[in-house]
A = this chain, B = another copy of it.
Amino acid sequence: MPQYQAPLPDFQFLLRDWLGLDEHYQKLGLHDFDFALANDVLSQGAKFATDVVAPLNREGDEQGCKLQNGAVTTPDGFADAYREYVANGWNAMLGEEEYGGQALPYTMAVPIHEMLNAANLSWRLTTMLTESTVLAVSRHATEELKAHYLAKLISGEWTGTMNLTEPQAGSDLALLTTKAQPQEDGSYSITGNKIFITGGDHDWTENIIHMVLARLPDAPAGVKGISLFLVPKFLVTETGEPGEANAVSVGSIEHKMGIKASPTCVMNYDNAKGWLIGEPHQGLACMFTMMNDARFQVGMQGLGAAEASYQGALAYARDRRQSRAPQGIQQPEEKADAIIFQPDVARMLLTQKALTEGCRALSLFYAKHMDIEKHGSDSKKAEAKPVLQFLTPVCKAFMTDMGLEVCSLGIQVFGGHGYIREWGMEQLMRDVRIAQIYEGTNGIQAADLIGRKLTRDKGEIMQATFTAFHELTTAIQEPELQSRAQTLLNDWCATSTECLTMSATDAAAAAHDYLAFTAYSLIGVLWYSMASKAQESEDGSIAKGKMNTCAFYEARILPRRDAHKAAMITGAETILSVSDSEFDYLP
């Protein structure tokens, strides 16, 4: 597998031409930012991702993490790369300036995230969760807690974790039992066991800040009785340095299918000292500040892995020569043609490409709306927020499902070599498989989309999303592309509106297919929009490549949308009519 290269030409086209970054920043009053700066940041980020992070990926998988004497060590080079990341300020990209952050727009940070994920999913994961921790502390913690923790989380001097899952409480947080006992000094004593804690311990930093969900003694049952606590690995002294060890320990680390270089810990809290974040019993809402960010970021993992797999497959298909192409000899000077000329191999590569570039456009469309939600006028903020609410589960679930498909195709292009660890293609598939599960399984995302985002507000959030995409279609210059985009979008909106009358049970049964139907539809709109904009490009490969890939998407990917539509309107009956003994015919 060749060295990962950041797809800079595509980022440049998408940000400069398609998204219109200069105008976007101007409209938001972000006068310190423009495409030229973004492009510079992209180049630096690309250099860091390719030169520092990517080379650790293969060996990290082989070495994995180790737990010895209660402390976790990560593979060779991981801690050094992290320190370089922190020293270069990358960890602070999104943090508030007041606490030493750079407050970069999301449209600049999101491409960097994609690159880091593509370079090394395991390595990126811990920094991703620190960013989420920063969000939760920044929005919900007291000024005192912020003063103690925020600057060091933003700089990356310390990392953060999310502690939700317990053995009996995964998708259903109502069942969690970790307890928080108020102490006289205003702190809380936290006791319980958490599982699947990414970065629960490591050898990167002097302290780790755990965000822990637990119940206060007077907590009502269920999800309305959950509070959020900040629990440091080492208690922080008055001068802000790590001091006495807190009663937090790592029980074990998990043996996983992939992301082996990321330590996934069982965490034990045994009367550990913690501090309340936000109001009592409002922990879930506070955690969702992290969670929504983390969900989009997990979607970005799918995208990153997909890009890495596509690059590997493309390089191999250009290099590997087997048989002659059915359309005629392509490389007469060679004994056989490169397999990229085989229509079925090109089909696999273009499936990878159309899905990956489509999802990249989706991620930047999402990032643009994050910028607007943060910096726009009140009315613009109000327009952007529902778009983000609607698209979060779509990005998380579709981009990770897509990631698995694309990484599996990457293996297939390699043939037998794709199955051999040394080539790195199978690692991408193993690594990305978790992304469909964590931060809410893709089934949970689908239920969120159809149950909360679509139906709860009687379609308002969906309509806001329609409006945002409709605006995109009105800007399409090419009349034929515009007409197709609008037909597709209108059909999606009409079908979504029909779903509003579904019963809760039918909606739950339709959830998976509605999410996929939505994603294929909206990414179709993005493809028409990209293809039209690319026609204005002076770069012939962009102009023709986007147009041709759009045609491929329309002909060969978009039909899946109809299959999902057909499945989702059949109701819950064909699912719920199967009773217990009919599953396996055993008495």
Contacts and interface: CB of A to CB of B under 8 A. Distances in A.
Contacts of A10: 585
The A contact surface, by secondary structure, is: helix
Interface residues of A, number: 108
Interface stretch (A154-162, A360-368, A412-420, A480-488): A412-420
A171 B344 contact: no
A89 interface: no
29 contacts: A7-B585, A9-B585, A174-B336, A256-B419, A257-B429, A311-B584, A326-B451, A326-B507, A327-B504, A343-B509, A344-B446, A344-B511, A344-B512, A347-B512, A348-B443, A404-B408, A408-B433, A415-B437, A416-B437, A419-B433, A419-B437, A429-B433, A544-B582, A545-B578, A548-B578, A556-B574, A560-B560, A562-B562, A562-B563
Contacts of A340: 580, 583
- How many copies of the chain does the oligomer comprise? 2
A322 B167 CA distance: 11
A579 B421 contact: no
Nearest to A505: B327
Nearest to A169: B322
B584 A556 contact: no
A416 B170 contact: yes
A574 B586 contact: no
Given A336-B172, A563-B563, A572-B327, A581 B412 contact: no
B585 A545 contact: yes
A584 B314 contact: yes
Nearest to A540: B581
A385 interface: no
A345 interface: yes
A422 B175 contact: no
Contact of A541 (B511, B541, B585): B585
B255 A421 contact: yes
Contacts of A31: none
A196 interface: yes
Interface in A329-348: 335-336, 339-340, 342-348
A99 interface: no
Contact of A577 (B326, B344, B551, B574): B551
Given A196-B416, A318-B580, A549-B578, 16 more contacts: A9-B585, A171-B415, A172-B322, A195-B416, A326-B508, A327-B572, A344-B446, A344-B511, A412-B441, A416-B437, A416-B438, A545-B581, A545-B583, A549-B582, A552-B578, A556-B575
Given A327-B572, A336-B172, A419-B434, A344 B541 contact: no
Contacts of A342: 443, 508
**Which 4 residue pairs are nearest across A and B when measured between Cβ atoms?**
A545-B582, A559-B566, A172-B322, A257-B426
